[in-house]
């Protein structure tokens, strides 16, 4: 049987990306254009600027991916694009481009849930078998699920207020570290004392798998205001970042412990924890969860940092996984700014 080749397109937020993946898990091309410099002056992503950047650069990145893979479009087998959740302007650019390419070249079009792209990445990188516990942590999402199969996810818990990535960004902003906040907080924390500031661990010890980070952000603000004259030295910033990161690590480790316990009640096999999403690139979190899984006698799989943040390789791979099940989406599929993973069961294989 000939190898299946998929073009993936990702435009859900502030990365414009195109990639080509083969069904033997080989990433033949992976093009990502970051818009960080465009959005940094605003302290966050500006949807209109993001959509314009996708429109300006996507075609060029697709051509670059084809050149990198040394392929022509006719050699591809399918076109997959992120269709949600995300910023609607960016989603429309990616989906419209993918539909046009699919229609012009007679290729199947697959509308991919961005979160499922993250969820299936460890099957691309590590050939992880279903079922597994999935911790999805990013700027807009923080949830624990059981991944039972492609398109089949059971949510165990989610944030009741803010996502962990947003908490990193807001903390960085309060400390004057700029955008994006996650890498800046991680860098500053390396020289800090994680025990200096007594920050809360919201929901830690509760018998569920939910998260809450709003109170932690508030505690950071109060701790900053309590400093003499409200002025922050370089060491103050480092200590606050280290204390904040330690609190986040404690909370997430506690919630993952509950999730692994619930998973084991239903499955006799050993448990696997998969960590996906942009915050999974945080080295301290990776260290904490690796230690947790060692103590819990569970396997842990965290994709390489490049495949944790938004990329098109995961979208191409999700397209391959869904196409193997006979799923093809119509060219009338509308992008969805909100699209929970648990809603994917509504999509059935094409007749």
pLDDT in tens, 67-101: 999 999 999 999 999 999 999 999 999 999 999 99
- pLDDT surpasses 80 at 38: no
- As a whole number, mean pLDDT of residues 123-136 equals 96
Query: pLDDT > 90: what percent of the chain?
Result: 84
Identify whether 275 is part of a domain: yes
One domain, residues 111 and 191: no
Q: Which of 113, 115, 156 is nearest to 139 (CA)?
A: 115
What predicted TM-score, i.e. pTM, was given to this entire model? Answer: 0.93
In the chain, the number of structural domains is 2
| Dist. CA 235–CA 189, nearest whole Å | 10
Question: Residue 300: its pLDDT value, please?
Answer: 97
In this predicted structure, what is the pLDDT of residue 351? 39
Whether residue 145 sits in one domain with residue 82: no
Say whether both 270 and 219 belong to one domain. yes
Examine residue 99 and state whether it is found in any structural domain, yes or no: yes
**What percentage of the chain reaches a pLDDT higher than 70?**
95
User: Residue 15 and residue 38: Cα distance in Å, rounded?
Assistant: 11
State whether 20 and 136 are in the same domain.
Answer: no
Shared domain for 74 and 21, answered yes or no, is yes
Mean pLDDT in residue range 31-42: 75
Q: What is the pLDDT of residues 303-319, one digit of tens each?
A: 999 999 999 999 999 99
Co-location of 52 and 148 in the same domain: no
Choose between 350 and 262: higher pLDDT. Answer: 262
User: What is the rounded CA–CA span in Å between residue 351 and residue 299?
Assistant: 38
Same domain, 115 and 150: no
The torsion of the CA quartet 244, 250, 252, 257, rounded to 10 degrees, works out to 180
Domain limits at 163?
A: 129-302
Q: Examine the domain organization and report whether 145 and 294 are in the same domain.
A: yes
Q: Are residues 192 and 114 part of one domain?
A: no
Last residue of a domain, one of 284, 302, 320: 302
Beta bridge partners of 19: 8, 30
Whether 240 is covered by a domain: the verdict is: yes
In a domain, residue 137? The reply is yes
Does residue 150 form part of some domain?
A: yes
Q: What average pLDDT does range 317-328 have in this prediction?
A: 97
Q: Mean per-residue pLDDT for 207-212?
A: 97
| Cβ(277)–Cβ(137) below 8 Å | yes
Nearest to 286 by CA among 157, 146, 182, 140: 182
Q: Does the residue 211 lie in any domain?
A: yes
Q: Are residues 142 and 264 in the same domain?
A: yes
Q: Tokens 């999974």 map to which residue?
A: 280
Residues 201 and 178 in one domain: yes
Q: Residue 342 sits in a domain of what CATH number?
A: 3.30.420.40
**How confident is the prediction for the chain on average, in pLDDT?**
93
- Provide the 10 A C-beta neighbour count for residue 158: 17
330 assigned to some structural domain: yes
Whether 351 maps to a domain, the answer reads no
**One domain for residues 206 and 292:** yes
**Tokens of residue 78, six digits:** 């399918």
């Amino acid at each position: 049987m000939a190898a299946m080749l998929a073009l993936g397109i990702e435009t859900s937020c502030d990365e414009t990306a195109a990639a080509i993946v083969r069904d033997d898990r080989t990433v033949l091309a992976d093009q990502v254009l970051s818009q960080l410099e465009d959005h940094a002056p605003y302290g966050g992503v500006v949807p209109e600027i993001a959509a314009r950047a996708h429109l300006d650069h996507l075609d060029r990145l697709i051509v670059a991916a084809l050149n990198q893979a040394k392929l022509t479009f006719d050699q591809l087998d399918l076109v997959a694009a992120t269709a949600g959740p995300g910023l609607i302007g960016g989603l429309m650019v990616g989906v419209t481009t993918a539909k046009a390419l699919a229609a012009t070249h007679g290729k199947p079009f697959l509308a991919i849930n961005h979160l499922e792209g993250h969820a299936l990445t460890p099957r691309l990188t590590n050939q992880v078998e279903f079922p597994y516990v999935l911790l999805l942590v990013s700027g807009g999402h923080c949830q624990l699920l059981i991944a039972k199969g492609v398109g089949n996810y059971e949510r165990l818990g989610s944030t009741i207020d803010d996502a962990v990535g947003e908490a990193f960004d807001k903390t960085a902003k309060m400390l004057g570290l700029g955008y994006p906040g996650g890498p800046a907080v991680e860098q500053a924390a390396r020289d800090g004392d994680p025990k200096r500031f007594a920050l809360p661990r919201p929901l830690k010890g509760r018998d569920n798998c939910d998260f809450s980070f709003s109170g932690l952000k508030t505690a950071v603000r109060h701790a900053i205001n309590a400093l003499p004259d409200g002025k922050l030295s370089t060491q103050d910033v480092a200590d606050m970042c280290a204390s904040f990161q330690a609190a986040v690590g404690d909370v997430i480790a506690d919630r993952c412990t509950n999730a692994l316990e619930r998973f084991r009640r239903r499955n006799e096999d050993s448990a696997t924890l998969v960590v996906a999403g942009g915050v999974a690139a945080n080295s301290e979190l990776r260290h904490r969860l690796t230690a947790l899984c060692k103590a819990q006698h569970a396997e842990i799989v965290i994709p390489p940092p490049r495949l944790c943040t938004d990329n098109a390789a995961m979208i191409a791979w999700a397209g391959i996984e869904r196409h193997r099940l006979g799923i093809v989406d119509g060219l009338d599929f509308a992008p969805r700014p909100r699209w929970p993973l648990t809603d994917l069961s509504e999509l059935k294989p094409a007749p």
